[in-house]
Amino acid sequence: MKKFGLLFLVLLTTLALGAGLVQAKDAEVSIALGSEPTTLDPQLREDGGERAVNDNIYETLLTRTPKGELIPSLSQGMPTLENPTTWQVKLRPGVKFHNGEDCNADAVVYSVKRVIDPKFNSEQISFFSTITGASKVDDLTVNITTKGPDPILPSRLYWLKIVPPKHSKDPKFAEKPIGTGPYKLKVWNRGQNIILVKNDAYWGQKPAIATVNYRFIEEPGTRLAGLMAGEFDLITNLLPEFTKQVPQSIHILGLEHPIIILNADKGVTKDVRVRKALNYAVDKKALAEGLFEGFAQVAEGQLLSPSFFGFNENVKAYPFDPEKAKKLLKEAGAEGATVEIIGTSGRWLKDRELVEAVAAYWKKVGINAKVRIFEFNEYLNRLFDRKTRADAIFVVSSNELLDADKSFSAYYKSGGIGSSNTDKTLADLIEKARTETDVKKRTDLYHQAVKRAYDNAYFVWLLNIEDIYGLSKRLIWPGRVDAQLLVKEMKVK
């Protein structure tokens, strides 16, 4: 009887453990995002909500480890440089899209040509503006060409998602995505949620999470309440003051830099004295310590973190000097001038609060700051509107390439998708640095660009903020330096 009882106990234990494994394997997690994707076409918009979902549906030729190291993904190995303007990529065999289309050289060539096509008008073009084309060598080999030497082409390939040539021509492609990734779309209920289910035919390691439910919750307090109530397993942009109250929280010094883009070509901000005054007026240290509870660092007068290539250690933040700001405004005849500042709410951590705080500082030095907060889709339209530029536009820039080229091409360079200046000298520096293969010369070019933008105060540089997440008790996820929400890296207890 004792032997039978022991066997029975072992059997019960085995069944219990097995049940736990099955439960984890078939688990569903719920993730609350601050904004709904504006599209599920992975090459069209520069939209963090879209990326949060599509990073699990689509894949790239290269990817990064959680700590940021570049490694192969759809490619078999790292790209090789065939000549100064040609990189060769060998593809992983046997990979298929969710609809059965082959992920081969034809798909890669098509994806490259699609995203760089001016008629397609991708908001991501600053990532790929050096790429001139791609050609098929054989079914599993592709050559990618650049208009000059491009030392960071591998980093660009980490961002370029591969799309199916046939299905992407479907008029409904933007709402019915088909990728090669570990998850595929089940349903998109507009204004409510997106549900993904695991791809049983996935070529890589099978994910532990079976179903992902993305909810769109703009208000941070509502996301927090949902996490505390057990409604969500993961929330983004956790308010710093609640990190000790949630079941679990993680924070990582991220890639995000909130800035104010100032219009250097028109209006009251055309005067450099006004732009400098707007910088001196803001107490950035108080924002980091007060608004963000210390989960942020003051940006050093540039849209780069110290770890990014091109960072100029000799350039420091504009000091908080409201009296100097007032003096400059008086010299410029801009006392009492109106400055319109465009922002959004719920997309980034404390985005609305940050815009309103900056506006309050400006008012204290005599600027009539007019805050206009828009729903995210309309906000993007205004951010990327090349014909009508507001006086000041708030944006949080994230640089996953870890190189100055991405941020500077988008926001510093004249004609960039988010720039508000026509400084030809600055544009030439950025263009030369892009194709310079000598590391010392390239560094010097970026240092000059940083200094010139700083001296002309083309932005109000604010902070480098940490990524803060709230997790349920059961979720296991360490976070990533690039802020990707890869569900295949998540597990439940």
Digit-coded pLDDT (tens) for 38-78: 999 999 998 889 999 999 999 999 999 998 889 999 999 99
pLDDT > 60? residue 8: no
* Beta carbons of 234 and 31 less than 8 angstroms apart: yes
Query: CA–CA separation, 487 vs 29, rounded Å?
Result: 9
Instruction: Look at the alpha carbons of 112, 309, 273, 326 in this order and tell me if their dihedral is positive or negative.
Output: positive
Give the separation between CA 330 and CA 353, rounded to whole angstroms.
Answer: 28
The tens digit of pLDDT for each residue in 362-388 reads 999 999 999 999 998 899 999 988 788
Whether 332 and 428 share a structural domain:
yes
Q: Is the same domain home to 245 and 158?
A: no
Helix (DSSP H) and strand (DSSP E) numbers for the chain: 14, 20
Cα first-last separation, the chain: 35
CATH number for the domain spanning 349: value is: 3.10.105.10
Q: Which domain holds residue 236?
A: 27-36+174-251+468-492
263 occurs within a structural domain: yes
> Please, which contacts does 166-174 make with residues 24 or more away whose CB atoms are closer than 8 Å?
166/101, 167/97, 167/99, 167/101, 168/41, 168/110, 168/114, 173/41, 174/39, 174/40, 174/41, 174/44
Domain match, 342 and 485 both: no
Same domain? 160 vs 57:
yes
Average pLDDT over residues 153-165: 96
For the chain, what is the largest distance between any 2 Cα atoms, rounded to a whole number of angstroms?
98
The CA distances from residue 363 to 332, 337, 359, in Å, are: 16, 10, 6
% of the chain exceeding 70 in pLDDT: 95
Structural domain contains residue 2? no
Residues 126 and 206 in one domain: no
Q: Which of 169, 197, 222 is the last residue of a domain?
A: 169
Res 279: pLDDT:
98
Please state the φ and ψ torsions of residue 417, each to the nearest 5 degrees: -60, -25
User: Is the pLDDT confidence value at 9 over 90?
Assistant: no
Q: What is the pLDDT of residues 207-266, one digit of tens each?
A: 999 999 999 998 989 999 999 999 999 999 999 999 999 999 999 988 899 999 999 999
Let me know: does 427 contact 414? Beta carbons within 8 Å: yes
Q: Is residue 76 part of a domain?
A: yes
Express each pLDDT in 334-358 by its tens digit.
999 999 999 999 889 899 999 999 9
pLDDT, residue 385, reads: 86
Question: Is 354 found in the same domain as 209?
Answer: no
**Final residue before a domain boundary, out of 122, 143, 169:** 169
Please say whether the beta carbons of 262 and 278 come within 8 A. yes
Look at residue 7 and tell me whether its pLDDT is greater than 60.
Answer: no
What's the whole-number mean pLDDT along residues 407-414?
Answer: 95
Crossing angle between the packed helical segments 424-435 and 439-455, to the nearest 10 degrees: 160
Whether residues 283 and 372 fall in one domain: yes
Do residues 204 and 214 share a domain?
yes
Residue 290 and residue 220 in one domain = no
Q: Rounded CA gap, 479 and 285, in Å?
A: 26
- pTM comes to 0.79
Are 270 and 403 in a shared domain?
yes
The domain total for the chain is: 3
21 within some domain: no
Pair (104, 147) in one structural domain: yes
Task: Read off the DSSP letter of residue 433.
Answer: H
Under DSSP, is residue 106 helix (H, G, I), strand (E, B) or coil? helix
pLDDT over 80 at 1, yes or no? no
pLDDT of residue 6: 39
User: Of the candidates 148, 169, 190, which is a domain's last residue?
Assistant: 169
Flag whether pLDDT at 444 surpasses 60: yes
Range of lowest pLDDT (21-30, 167-176, 459-468): 21-30
Q: At what angle do helices 322-331 and 272-280 cross, to 10 degrees?
A: 160
Predicted confidence at residue 25, as pLDDT, reads 59
CA Rg, the chain, in Å?
24
The CATH number covering residue 231 comes to 3.40.190.10
Identify the pLDDT of residue 302.
97
Does residue 186 fall inside a structural domain? yes
Q: Phi and psi at residue 345, in whole multiples of 5°?
A: -135, 130
Taking the C-alpha atoms of residue 89 and residue 178, their distance in angstroms, rounded to an integer, is 22
Q: 318 and 237: one domain? A: no
